[in-house]
A and B are shown apart, each in its own frame.
Chain A
């Protein structure tokens, strides 16, 4: 097991290196630069700015310079936001993104599993139909629709929550409700359906019939025998679920004005803020790669059929 973990861990580095390299060259290939604006700068000022940020050097040299500074843990200065460097903006914004993401994940998992269980146990009753209909809605409607619809009803019509903002602001924790619902809805729906399907499948298997024949109570069968097996597909879905939360948070952060990394991610791409794009790409890919790694390990641990070799 340890060997398997170490081998998988070492494998992460080349993946990240490839992502950085590809991103570095792709964004430089995009037309327009970080300092282009409607008011074209006098040539001399343009040159001075480029010199200041080493943009006048050959791309290969810029690449080498960038890689060396990453190794030192320095993501460089932002070309747009001039008062602080990329490290600062990421350090300020990533906790907000992670907090929103984590809460959304927890809610999706807890409610998804609960809804799936209830549906499976009350199969073909109104409660099953209700929760599965909600789940179908959750799977089919993209969050850039869910978000504004929630804002329209719950913020603008009912006035229960503010339209946007963050927990540290004037409206406090009320700002969290709508973005969390938006971000967790899709995953909740998937998890609910997965849980229902796999519980139903396991309930029909022989070892459950044996357990029933032995006279065990339903609750004991469910928690001791069914759930462990039924969780396998859910766990394997957690990797993709996490990436859905990450990419979804980019949209949700814009709709709800969450001061997270997703906003920088989008803005920096539009602004051609090379260093800030790369900084956010690096952080996102590191998170994604590590989450997938953890899911693999948990899966290997849960499922005895997976070999570590």
Chain B
């Protein structure tokens, strides 16, 4: 028996020594100019016209580039394929001067490439989920997208090989910034023609970003290596970027804690207290809002007094300090604070006034108030927030709430159908402009599940969309927001987001927190 024990002991010592040495070796190999990113979900596609998520957007920064890219510090547009651009005095026409550059296979990129690519995303046959974005921005693009007009009606034109002209629906101040988005990407049509079904596979892939696709194993790894044909390759420092997909927060976060990835783009709620004091925890204001939608056709929240009472009776400060606790700010406006725009102050919090409004609506001290259903999608965070609000409304107003928890797709369906009283929602800016938070609440808009409708609001939003950038336009949007929030309480803003990342900035340079949480890999380098 002693012999057996000794044998087992020796074997286990050898075994662990072997694995420890393997691991060390592997770590050394991983060094150099390689950034490993926990990229959350498996990318849906590398065809930029078919994607719609944040993980894909992160990969787009490596593999693709449109007319403009974004500044890693400010998220403002910086030259990409376009060297420079000019906006005409009316603000509706932008002329881009393109640089002489090529795809990674050496085929030149010209103004015609942009025309063909943009027509492809707008083409109804492509069925692109983000086609609405150029569709909303470019003159005639919406009609082509909806199949009511031909491609010739779209306001884009190749003036010559290196001059590209875009006509907008109105003077859209955020248009150039929006064009760094993947919805305005170019795709290698010459390769798509060759391999229509497999052009995004590593063996066929051709791109125009700072990196090219190296390896892609579904649910395992996607890696990119430096693109020798990239116009600004001398400023690209990294040799490789590796994207590791996993949907599970804890699995992803453990990889970071164990040094297996260099950048984690989120922190699980339950880990927050433990990481808050660490130097590699980076938190920054993020253009997003967390809010509750009222289904304004459903009693009792069809009464504006009830909606206001509910909003006034919520202690947001305690919520962001004790529940979400990552540095979010209490939110009373739909639009988060952003440069040049002063959001509506909202109606604030006032318990006495809330009780009075509720009494006026016929429910003194909550008497006779029907059970209020709060709909949210399954998630620890949403549950904790809903529980806090439930407790607040019960304590402050005497209203009983029922929490209704639905899995994501079921929740989306319920929300779309308007089959709820109060539902949780969140919104992240597509581009840094107030309109991205307000447009969707226009009467009858597809995303307006709460059925909010106000003619004056619609008119102001419509007017703002054709106005020149500047204080007057912002004033119109602000007036619309006043009506939507302060006057009608169409939704109840709760807090404004922060982005949270884990990255050791003493080791990695060129990575900055910014209000859009956009991080181009082009500028990142190892210190």
Contact = CB atoms under 8 A, between A and B. Distances in A.
Interface of A: 30-33, 35-45, 48-49, 51-52, 80-84, 89, 92-93, 127, 148, 151, 155-156, 159-166, 168-174, 177, 254-257, 259-260, 263-264, 267, 270-272
B42 A81 contact: yes
Interface in B121-148: 124-125, 127-129, 131-132, 135, 145-147
Contacts of B52: 37, 39
A83 B198 CA distance: 7
Contacts of A81: 42, 44-45, 218
B219 interface: yes
A35 B22 contact: no
A162 B260 contact: yes
B431 to A, nearest CB: 13
Contacts of A263: 219
B413 A259 contact: no
Given A42-B131, A45-B124, A156-B254, 10 more contacts: A32-B409, A32-B413, A35-B129, A36-B416, A39-B447, A52-B125, A163-B254, A166-B220, A257-B219, A263-B219
A264 B219 contact: yes
Nearest to A118: B4
A172 B127 contact: no
Contacts of B221: 169
Interface centre among A42, A148, A160 (most CB of B within 10 A): A42
B447 A36 contact: no
A256 B52 CA distance: 27
A130 B484 CA distance: 69
Most chain A CB atoms below 10 A, which of B128, B129, B145: B129
A240 to B, nearest CB: 27
Contact of A41 (B19, B124, B132, B244): B132
Interface string B428-462: 00000000000000000011010000000000000
Contacts, number: 161
B42 A267 contact: yes
A92 B409 contact: no
A32 B411 CA distance: 8
B250 interface: yes
A162 B251 CA distance: 11
B255 A164 contact: yes
A82 B407 contact: no
Given A42-B446, A170-B26, A267-B42, A30 B217 contact: no
B137 to A, nearest CB: 14
B50 interface: yes
Nearest to B417: A31
A162 B258 contact: yes
Contact of B220 (A49, A51, A169, A255): A169
Contacts of B198: 83-84
A61 to B, nearest CB: 20
A186 B45 CA distance: 38
B200 interface: yes
Contacts of A257: 219-220, 244, 246, 251
A30 B409 contact: yes
B323 interface: no
B23 A31 contact: no
Nearest to A151: B254
Contact of A83 (B145, B200, B258, B410): B200
Nearest to B416: A40
Nearest to B19: A174
B260 A165 contact: yes
Contact of B145 (A36, A45, A259, A271): A45
Nearest to B1: A127
A265 to B, nearest CB: 11
A43 B409 CA distance: 18
Given A32-B409, A270-B409, A163 B50 contact: no
A272 B407 CA distance: 11
A35 B52 CA distance: 11
Given A163-B255, A259-B217, A171 B26 contact: yes
Contacts of B23: 159-162, 171, 174
A31 B414 contact: yes
Interface in B223-265: 244, 246-248, 250-251, 254-255, 257-258, 260
A160 B16 CA distance: 7
A254 B248 contact: yes
Nearest to B51: A82
A173 B151 CA distance: 54
B30 A45 contact: no
The 3 A-B residue pairs whose C-beta atoms are closest, nearest first, are A32-B409, A259-B220, A259-B219
A168 B258 contact: no
